[in-house]
């Protein structure tokens, strides 16, 4: 049993109504990993901590963090909601999926400072207008290791070469150079541009990204490759992914933007 009282940074991961007027809010914290907080009377009018527990909020909180068990918030020192994400269905869908993947990749209560930073960077970039699909892809590539899948993206798994055309092989757990494609008849046939980007994404520091432009065909290819890797090797599909997949059909039904 441990108990920590103090300040910490956090991002709202999920909210659930609880009992008659309470709420359970899951925060990804900078120091304690993911923790579930019980907020008494959070659904009553005039609740004083409301601004800190809205979806897509980054905050500095004061509270009591218990391990195990529910934790409690006593004050919010600062809170900012990512407004573009909160107000745009496409950005919302991508951000929700990213947070859900991070949520599924790690057990509650395990300190994951790197992923706290990465979640903050992801939301900031998406909110600031960087292509949400690309930020999502970068997160998916970098999270593979946490899911116990660590493909070798850097050079051919067999000979180490990276100067020849490369393709992805599930069987070999990474890339194969053209000389070794014959070893895997089920290699992915990844389009060269997408292959190049996947290898970049595996090492890029998200916080250092200022602009990134990826064509639609390459984005579709990235989606195909990562969907197959996640389906075959990870086996995790958050509910938020289904919504993301349905987004194009939703958008078709929305009135055009003025
Ligand atoms: Zn090779």
Largest CA distance in the chain: 67
Can you point out the beta strands (E) in the chain? 2-18, 22-29, 33-39, 57-67, 72-81, 166-169, 174-177
Domain of residue 12 covers 2-81
Is 147 part of a structural domain of the chain? Answer: no
Is 25 part of a structural domain of the chain? Answer: yes
DSSP-derived secondary structure letter, 82: -
Is 24 part of a structural domain of the chain? Answer: yes
CA of 165 to the centre of ligand 1 (A): 10
| Alpha helix ranges (H) inside 71-127 | 83-87, 89-105, 113-127
Q: Does residue 252 register a pLDDT over 60?
A: yes
CA of 222 to the centre of ligand 1 (A): 22
Joined together, the tokens standing for residue 37 give 């907080």
CA of 107 to the centre of ligand 1 (A): 37
Is 41 part of a structural domain of the chain? Answer: yes
CA of 188 to the centre of ligand 1 (A): 15
132-143 helix and 216-229 helix, angle to the nearest 10 degrees: 30
Is 140 part of a structural domain of the chain? Answer: no
Q: Could you tell me the sign of the dihedral formed by the alpha carbons of 11, 13, 87, 218, in that order?
A: positive
CA of 84 to the centre of ligand 1 (A): 45
6-58 per-position pLDDT tens digit:
999 999 999 999 999 999 999 999 999 999 999 999 999 999 999 999 999 99
Can you point out the beta strands (E) in 19-71? 22-29, 33-39, 57-67
CA of 244 to the centre of ligand 1 (A): 36
What is the rounded distance in angstroms from the CA atom of residue 162 to the CA atom of residue 209? 24
Which band of pLDDT confidence, cut at 50, 70 and 90, is reported for residue 257?
A: low
Q: Does residue 79 register a pLDDT over 80?
A: yes
| Overall number of domains in the chain | 1
Q: What is the CATH number of the domain that holds 66?
A: 2.40.50.140
118-153 per-position pLDDT tens digit:
999 999 999 999 999 999 999 999 999 999 999 999
The mean pLDDT value for 72-94 works out to 97
Q: For the chain, state the CA radius of gyration.
A: 20
Is 76 part of a structural domain of the chain? Answer: yes
Is 183 part of a structural domain of the chain? Answer: no
Joined together, the tokens standing for residue 81 give 């909601």
């Amino acid at each position: 049993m441990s108990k920590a009282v103090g300040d910490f940074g956090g991002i709202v991961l999920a909210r659930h109504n609880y009992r008659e007027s309470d709420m359970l809010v899951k925060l990804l914290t900078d120091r304690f990993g993911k923790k579930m907080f019980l907020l008494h009377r959070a659904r009553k009018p005039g609740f004083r901590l409301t601004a800190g527990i809205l979806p897509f909020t980054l905050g500095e909180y004061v509270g009591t963090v218990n391990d195990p068990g529910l934790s409690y918030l006593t004050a919010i020192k600062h809170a900012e909601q990512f407004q573009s994400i909160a107000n745009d269905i496409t950005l919302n869908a991508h951000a929700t999926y990213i947070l859900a993947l991070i949520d599924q990749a790690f057990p509650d209560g395990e300190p994951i400072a790197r992923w706290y930073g990465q979640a903050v960077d992801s939301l900031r970039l998406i909110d600031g207008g960087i292509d949400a699909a690309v930020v999502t892809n970068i997160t998916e590539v970098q999270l593979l290791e946490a899911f116990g899948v660590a493909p070798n993206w850097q050079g051919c798994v067999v000979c180490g070469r990276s100067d020849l055309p490369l393709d992805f092989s599930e069987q070999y757990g990474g890339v194969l150079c053209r000389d070794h494609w014959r070893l895997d008849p089920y290699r992915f046939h990844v389009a060269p541009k997408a292959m190049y980007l996947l290898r970049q994404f595996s090492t890029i520091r998200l916080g250092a990204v200022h602009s990134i432009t990826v064509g639609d065909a390459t984005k579709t290819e990235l989606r195909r490759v990562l969907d197959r890797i996640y389906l075959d090797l990870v086996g995790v599909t958050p509910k938020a992914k289904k919504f993301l997949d349905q987004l194009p059909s939703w958008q078709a039904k929305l009135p055009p933007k003025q």
